[in-house]
Amino acid sequence: MFYTCCSLLAQVIFRFFCRVHIVVLEGPPATGPLIMASNHISHFDPPLLSAFFPRALDWIGMDELFKHPWSARFFSCLRVIPIDRLGKKAASNRHALKKMRASLAAGRALGMFPEGGIRSGTASILELATMKPGLASFSFLNQTSVIPCVVLGTDRLYVKHAWFRRTPLWIIVGKAIAPPTLDATNRNEALHSFQQKLNAAFPALQQELCERFQLCDDDLPMTAQERIAAKQRNKNRQSSGFQRPLE
């Protein structure tokens, strides 16, 4: 109930302040275990995907979110599973894996960011950067399909005025990618092939969005420094336009 209320609130906020465009290439199954994996370009990605992905998600989140009692309670109510991204807390991560498997066993959907953090440019899976191996391995060992998603536009929302200009946001939900069976002849080769298939899915989904909505370079993910430079370029173009002589 708490997750539903929060996701509905997020949906109202995003629809009011932004223009959300959603493409679903293949609807995910209404029931049963699955893994939703997405690129990660801002802190607004989890609430956006929670609001618009067709199913409720048990997110895998960094354990830093659970440092304070109030935030730990809040994210626990949202069914976020804390994990140590640096791998220094082996016991904690074993407990996280146990909870992740329990979610799948209960027929729920897990939400993951396989990049391990916010990424853009050449560090992003959208630019063919290699994702961390955890997603492919977990999907393979638990025989659970992965639904790749791509989010664009949320990196603009760090600028306050973007919320009052109905900034466009894009989400595309891809087709499910099933892992190889556990009895594959060459397990390592099968897992490597599966990893490559997952890696290739995200740039392809971004390309699909670009073609459908005729996106330009400014619509694609950028670092904060790149956004500032792009903003300055736009200002320069606008100012130069005002200086043109009247015909």
- Domains, the chain, in order of start with CATH, read 2-242 (3.40.1130.10)
For residue 31, the tally of other CB atoms under 10 A from its CB is 10
- In the prediction, which pLDDT does 89 show? 66
DSSP per residue, 45-102: HHHHHHHHSSS-EEEEEEGGGGSSHHHHHHHHHTT-EEE-TTS--HHHHHHHHHHHHH
In angstroms, the Cα distances linking 14 to 38, 57, 195, 206, 247 are: 18, 18, 33, 21, 43
- In the prediction, which pLDDT does 246 show? 38
- In the prediction, which pLDDT does 169 show? 97
Nearest to 118 by CA among 35, 63, 62, 200: 62
- Distance from C-alpha of 71 to C-alpha of 196, rounded to nearest angstrom: 36
- In the prediction, which pLDDT does 224 show? 67
Mean pLDDT, each 10-residue run in order, the chain (247 residues): 94 97 96 96 96 96 88 92 75 86 96 92 89 92 97 92 93 97 86 95 97 93 74 71 44
> What's the pTM value of the predicted model, to 2 decimals?
0.88
